[in-house]
Amino acid sequence: MRAPVLHCYRWKQNQSYINVYNAMTHYAQDVARELCCEALWILSHTPVYTLGANAPWPLLYDSTIPVYRTGRGGLITFHGPEQRMIYPFIHVKYREFRVTEYVNTLEQWIIRLLISLGIQGQQVSERRGVWVHDKKIASLGIQIKQHIAFHGMALNLYTPSNAFLKISPCGLQKKFGITSLEQLGAHLHQEEIDGLIWKYCPFR
């Protein structure tokens, strides 16, 4: 395989999850076949609930919002316009990543971004994602197929919607909450946050 080149693509308008999911699946296959370069997709979704591959169907959720089962790990979560999705397509075998190392790299990516904004994020070994005290600011779920890691992370930009609060996101107990950049005093335009996501990307 030739040395990886990472291309960055960003969408300003909210995107349908199912359309992006199908596109991600095909793009990951093309990266595995060396038909496409590694990539980073940055976007936001129209409101949607997603389930991990083995997650049980939720008992409580907003029935006006679609629910899709995916190939990623993890349980149920909500995605919407108040988040920025970070979807890297990375050849983990070529880059010699073990799964845990790759996940740690993703979390450290967000932590470095938060530090640049004066926010102290942290990793918690028994609870994946990025945390500020006992509140989650970024969730994480990946799938690896043919040595290509895809799916990725959701960074909370704004106050979570009621749809988020109706579920137990990622299987969290109620003692753990959700927070956002806005709630922590960081008010950024979409272009600014996208620029920081790219700036601190560890795969460039």
pLDDT at 174: 57
Supply 189's token pair: 């335009």
CA dihedral sign of residues 33, 29, 36, 3: negative
d(CA 103, CA 82): 23
Instruction: Give ∠ CA 6-8-10 in degrees, rounded to 5.
Output: 165
pLDDT at 196: 99
Residues annotated as catalytic are 170
Q: At 173, give phi and psi (nearest 5°).
A: -75, 160
Please report, in range form, the residues annotated as the binding site for substrate: 72-79, 139-141, 152-154
| SS3 call for 106 | helix
Please report, in range form, the residues annotated as the binding site: 72-79, 139-141, 152-154
Taking the mean position of all CA atoms in its chain, how far away is CA 193? 14
Question: How does pLDDT run along the chain (204 residues), one tens digit per residue?
Answer: 666 789 999 999 999 999 999 999 999 999 999 999 999 999 999 999 998 888 888 766 777 889 999 988 888 888 999 999 999 999 999 999 999 999 999 999 999 999 999 999 999 988 889 999 989 999 999 999 999 999 999 999 997 666 666 665 555 545 678 899 999 999 999 999 999 999 999 999
Parallel, antiparallel or unpaired: strands 6-10 and 76-79: unpaired
Can you list the domains of the chain with their CATH numbers? 6-199 (3.30.930.10)
The pTM of the full predicted model, rounded to 2 decimals, is: 0.92
d(CA 79, CA 81): 7
18: number of CA atoms within 13 Å, CB side?
5
Find the helix packing angle between 99-116 and 190-199, rounded to 10°.
130
Q: Which residues pair with 85 in a beta bridge?
A: 43, 154
Length of the chain measured in residues:
204
